[in-house]
């Protein structure tokens, strides 16, 4: 089997490349990336060591994709991942990359009669519907209450039943638009595709920043004893996300590669769920426990644009249909990131500090 992974040198892409090659050494794995994100260049040495092919290309250029030759499956993991992308400036890049680039990938699949694994996002759900949901404030976190005014929100989180009418960020909109195009390609051209709305993905190899990759950022700041901020919602640090270990994502993508018909014409949520969730305040306590370091954390009262008080993925549908669920705990996620930073401190300090 020949598998192309776009965004192949990034966090998710490189992790997929390495794990799939390790499990299926007979497969030809091709990492396709423009190396735009700082830190992605570190993957090239790993690729060479593990016999993974690297193609320096950009999904915005159809000619780059055309040069790949034949492949059996394309995993589209190349998105500009920041929710802030385009909000404070021109949205051209996020639109060109996440929507136009994805369409180029769909066409490349059609030309080769290849299957598509599309990594979408939980940010397709409209901001105002989540922000206006009923919640309770607990000692260390916010939580959804069971009494809600619209379908798709419960104490278990956000399900696929939540209405998609409303604004969601340029990032979320490009991903949702790509989902709609996949429906058209599937209906009129017969494209086989697995579409998954992933929650916050975390683990080793993620080059965390304030706008994306907060879990790595939190651990890195504790590791190097640097300050942080609780931003928004009164500076309480009670805002919550569910966290998905990269290995849980890889387990699901592996299943999708080899059982595409189980996922074709369907869209699933996939996140850590309520049992693998943490507030910023709880993340701080975990980082203090693992590193032994306590750092200064300031409070900024004002919310950032497009931020959410809490997001928890309701995985009920994919568990009922497929039997998949996240297996790795929050503490496992942070522990694995800690050991990755510790083992690669010299290479990472100029990127993460």
Domain boundaries, the chain: 2-352
Residue (of 217, 198, 190) closest to 284 by Cα position: 217
Is 90 exceeded by the pLDDT of residue 80?
no
- What dihedral angle (degrees, nearest 10) is formed by the CA atoms of 327, 159, 17, 91? -140
Is 70 exceeded by the pLDDT of residue 211?
no
Is 80 exceeded by the pLDDT of residue 212?
no
Is 70 exceeded by the pLDDT of residue 277?
yes
Q: Which CATH architecture has domain 2-352?
A: 3-Layer(aba) Sandwich (3.40)
Residue (of 75, 274, 86) closest to 168 by Cα position: 86
pLDDT at res. 86? 86
Tell me the whole-structure pTM to 2 decimals.
Answer: 0.96
pLDDT at res. 210? 65
Sign of CA dihedral 283, 286, 290, 291: positive
pLDDT, mean over the chain: 96
């Amino acid at each position: 089997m020949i598998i192309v992974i776009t965004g192949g040198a990034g966090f998710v892409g490189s992790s997929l490349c390495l794990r799939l090659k390790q499990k299926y050494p007979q497969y030809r794995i091709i990492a396709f990336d423009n190396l735009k994100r700082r830190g992605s260049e570190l993957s090239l040495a790993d690729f060479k060591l593990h016999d993974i092919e690297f193609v320096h290309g950009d999904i915005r250029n159809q000619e780059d994709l055309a040069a790949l030759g034949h492949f059996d499956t394309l995993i589209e993991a190349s998105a500009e991942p920041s929710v802030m992308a385009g909000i404070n400036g021109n949205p051209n890049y996020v639109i060109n990359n996440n929507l136009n680039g994805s369409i180029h990938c769909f066409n490349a699949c059609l030309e080769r009669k290849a299957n598509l694994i599309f990594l979408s996002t939980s940010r397709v759900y409209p901001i105002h519907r989540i922000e206006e949901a009923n919640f309770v404030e607990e000692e260390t976190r916010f939580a959804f209450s069971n009494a809600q005014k619209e379908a798709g929100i419960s104490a278990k989180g956000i399900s696929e039943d939540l209405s998609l009418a409303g604004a969601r960020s340029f990032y979320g909109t490009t991903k949702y638009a790509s989902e709609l195009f996949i429906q058209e390609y599937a209906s009129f051209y017969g494209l086989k595709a697995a579409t998954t709305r992933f929650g916050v993905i975390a683990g080793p190899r993620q080059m965390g920043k304030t706008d994306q990759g907060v879990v790595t950022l939190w651990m890195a700041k504790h590791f190097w004893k640097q300050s942080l901020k609780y931003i928004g919602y009164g500076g309480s640090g009670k805002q919550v996300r569910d966290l998905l270990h990269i290995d849980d994502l890889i387990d699901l993508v592996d299943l999708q590669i080899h059982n595409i018909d189980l996922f074709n014409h369907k869209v699933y949520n996939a996140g850590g769920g309520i049992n693998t969730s943490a507030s910023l305040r709880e993340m701080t306590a975990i980082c203090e426990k693992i590193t032994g370091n306590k750092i200064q954390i300031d409070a900024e009262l004002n919310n950032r644009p497009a931020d959410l008080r809490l997001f928890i993925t309701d995985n009920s549908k994919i568990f009922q249909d497929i039997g998949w669920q996240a297996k790795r705990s929050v503490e496992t996620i942070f522990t694995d990131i800690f050991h990755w930073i510790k083992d690669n401190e010299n290479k990472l300090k100029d990127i993460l500090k």
